[in-house]
Amino acid sequence: MYYTYIFESKEGYRCIGVAKDVDLKLKQYSDKSSIWTKRGSKWRIIYMEEFSDESSAIQRERWLKTAAGKYYINNLFEHSKN
């Protein structure tokens, strides 16, 4: 299985990506082993979708990074706050 995920840091940064092992990826973010993830701290999973193949997960990741995808994400989390 492959997963499209959204992580969020304590500072409010969000990162969208694809991984086979989301827990390992989250650990890598927390270890700040990437230049981009050094900007944030206390990363957590806020959204995740499961796919049977990598190409579908990547396709979803790319869509979530578009303007329409960002709008979808913002609406999703705005409605969950209410």
Reported as a single tens digit per residue, the pLDDT across 6-21 is 999 998 889 999 999 9
pLDDT at 64: 96
Q: Which domain holds residue 41?
A: 2-81
Q: How far apart are CA 42 and CA 61, in angstroms?
A: 22
- Give the total number of structural domains in the chain: 1
Where residue 16 sits, what CATH number does that domain have? Answer: 3.40.1440
Element (H, E) at 82: none
Q: How far apart are CA 59 and CA 50, in angstroms?
A: 12
Reported as a single tens digit per residue, the pLDDT across 26-78 is 888 887 766 666 777 888 999 999 999 999 999 999 999 999 999 999 898 77
pTM: predicted TM-score of the whole model, two decimal places: 0.86
Q: How far apart are CA 22 and CA 5, in angstroms?
A: 8
